[in-house]
Amino acid sequence: MNDVDTRSVAATQPIGAGAWRMLVAFVRAYPGRSALALAALLVAGLLDGLGLSTLLSMLSLATGDGESPSLPEELALEFAGALGITPTAGTMLLLAIALIGTKAILVLLANRQVGYTVAHVATDLRLALLRAVMASRWRYYLAQPVGRLSNAVATEAQRASEGFRHGAVMGAQLLNAMIYAVVALAISWQASLAALVAGGVLLAGLNVLVRMAGRAGRSQTGLLKSLLGVMTDQLGAVKPLKAMGREEHVDALLARQIRGLNIALRRQVFSKEALTALQEPLLAILVGVGFFVFVVSLDMPLAAVVVMLFLLARVVNFLAKAQRAWQHIVVAESAYWSLRETIHAAEAEREPARGHRAPTLDEGIELRDVTFGHGAQPLLVEQSMRIPAGALTVIVGPSGAGKTTLVDLVAGLLRPDRGEVLVDGVPLADIDHRQWRHMIGYVPQDPLLVNDTVLHNVTLGQSELGEDDVREALELANAWDFASALPDGVHTLLGERGGRLSGGQRQRLALARALVHRPRLLVLDEVTSSLDAAAEAAVIDTIVALKGRLTMLGVTHGNALRAAADHVYRMHEGVVSANGADNERADDDAR
């Protein structure tokens, strides 16, 4: 499974290239924020350098060793002069303190800015994914494992945004390294260059560990994706598994991914720790060798060597920190690309904004020669039927006949391959789909309630709907009595999937949810099929009481709803026929 998941488009690019492209994408998406953060860090670095130079010249002044000031000292003296400060050991010390203090404040501000941007990156990625998925075609959405989407929103967005943080850290460290390198080169370019090349070679050798971390990051991304996909699926079906004592199969199913994840995490930890552990001694050795070469072989004055080595050790130390940040970026890279891929895929499946005519529903809905198939094989072939306005039309047919498909065609969730759905004589293709769906109250086969209050389950978070609307809808759906009798009334929490309610109560809540925005068309998909006879009769009474208020389309495999219908159609293997034609066969199948 790991192989399949990591073999994405993003994973085909070399690890470093992918990480680099991610950073470029971040800078493109947040040019102002990135520039501001880097500029603040650059100024901070400069102030730090200047502060240290000032300290240096303070030392020279204090020891009376100031006849031949080095370049940094000259710079510091000039800077003090420009500020109108007479350079003495005391004033230079104060100036150094002021510079270093200002630097600290700037670094704080820059880091805060980076932190905010990290949150921004995560938020933007999450919203982009959510919007793209919500705007995608119904058929595409159906094929998405929910767990993968939650994984993308949670872990991938988090990891990707961390990439931005480490990108900023790396940028800052590289800038610092540059500033110090320039100063060191100004003191002795030969010695500095030699030291820098040696340091660069050592760090390049450690790049193996960066690539190792990148591979571990990729396998984590793939494993998390499939783990959360499988897990969410399995947790949704845990009741039968537990009831039949088969929960250990879930364990076996997930164990492979969890163990794989453990291996990947261990590799990531090892490469990270190994990089830190190896960087330090190598840098110490470098400084030792440099000291030996400068003092013993090149016979440079001790004071100059100390300054040089101090500067060079800082440069290489900055480079080492930049490399550690780069390692983090490389780990985050795959999460970013995986998330981007999910967003792109959903955007490519975006439901086009079709039609612009405002819908009306005064006459009725007509299916005219509609042909549709979920795959290559057509399910409905040139089927026609009418759903007159203001009446209850019921389609009876066995499971698998294509009833839900037909309903989804009417709602515009699916589009006919050939033929048309007409609403008041206007092809649905010309009608603004959003407006049309706003006119529909939909009660699905499985009344999916969310773990929230009754109120929220009815409004689905639509804030324009007040408690009065909810009460009215609950009364219409015959749900007010039980809902108001709950411990906290409509503010009672319903538990996972509405676990606190009986099947019939759940169905009524779903009905209230469909009625709360005062639809013109009420679609009822097998609303009574999971209920016992008494609950079924009660729900049907509720539906009958709604007659005349709105147009209703009900599909069912049973007979109870049919008895209440004004118009009945039968459906069998995708063939719709007016009541009477092949009654017996459909009835037999229904049983």
In the complex, minimum distance from the CB of residue 379 to ligand ADP, in angstroms, rounded to a whole number: 5
Interacting span for ligand ADP (CB under 6 A) from 18-26, 51-59, 65-73, 399-407: 399-407
Q: Which is nearer to Mg ion, 232 or 404 (CB)?
A: 404
Of 422, 442, 419, the closest CA to residue 355 belongs to: 422
135-194 positions binding ligand ADP, by CB under 6 A: 142
Q: 469 or 526, CB closer to Mg ion?
A: 526
Among 150, 404, 484, 530, binds Mg ion (CB under 5 A): 404
With binding defined as CB under 6 A, does residue 383 bind ligand ADP? no
- Provide the token pair at 531: 């209920």
DSSP assigned state of 350: B
403 scored as a contact of ligand ADP (CB under 6 A)? yes
Smaller CB separation from ligand ADP, 232 or 404: 404
Report the nearest approach of ligand ADP to the CB of residue 586 (Å).
11
The tokens for 570 are 């039968």
**Nearest residue (CB) to ligand ADP, 328 versus 562:** 562
Lay out the site mask for Mg ion across 440-459 (x = CB under 5 A, - = otherwise): --------------------
Residue 143 Cβ, how far from ligand ADP at the closest point, in Å? Answer: 8
> Does 529 interact with Mg ion (rule: CB under 5 A)?
no
In whole angstroms, the minimum distance from the beta carbon of 587 to ligand ADP comes to: 15
Contact 241, 252 (CB under 8 A): no
Nearer to ligand ADP, 142 or 269 (CB): 142
CB under 8 Å to 558, separation ≥6 — which residues? 396, 528, 529, 536, 590
Closer to Mg ion at the Cβ: 332 or 543?
A: 543
What single DSSP character describes residue 64?
A: T
Burial (CB < 10 A; 0-12, 13-18, 19+), residue 262, is exposed
Q: Edge-to-edge strand order for the sheet containing 418-423?
A: 380-388, 364-372, 418-423, 426-427
Bridge-based pairing state of the strands 551-556 and 567-572: unpaired
Cα 304 from Cα 299, distance rounded (Å): 11
- 530 touches Mg ion by CB under 5 A: no
Phi, psi of 236 (to 5 degrees): -65, -25
CA atoms within 13 A on the CB side of 334: 24
**Which range of residues in 39-47, 244-252, 397-405, 451-459 is near ligand ADP by CB under 6 A?**
397-405
Contacts of 568 (CB under 8 A, 6+ apart): 393, 394, 395, 396, 562, 578, 579
- Of 378 and 427, nearer to ligand ADP (C-beta) is 378
> Of 446, 449, 443, 436, which is closest to residue 553 (Cα–Cα)?
443
142 binds, among ligand ADP, Mg ion, none (CB under 5 to 8 A by kind): ligand ADP
Q: Is 405 in the site for ligand ADP (CB under 6 A)?
A: yes
Tokens (6 digits) for 239 = 């009741």
Candidates 201-209, 282-290, 373-381, 486-494: pick the segment binding ligand ADP (CB under 6 A).
373-381
Least spacing, CB of residue 372 vs ligand ADP, in Å:
10
Residue tagged 């094989």 (tokens): 377
Q: Are 23 and 166 in contact (CB under 8 A)?
A: no
- Chosen residue from 335, 365, 401, 531 binding ligand ADP by CB under 6 A: 401
List interacting residues with Mg ion (CB under 5 A): 404
List interacting residues with ligand ADP (CB under 6 A): 142, 374-375, 379, 397, 399-405
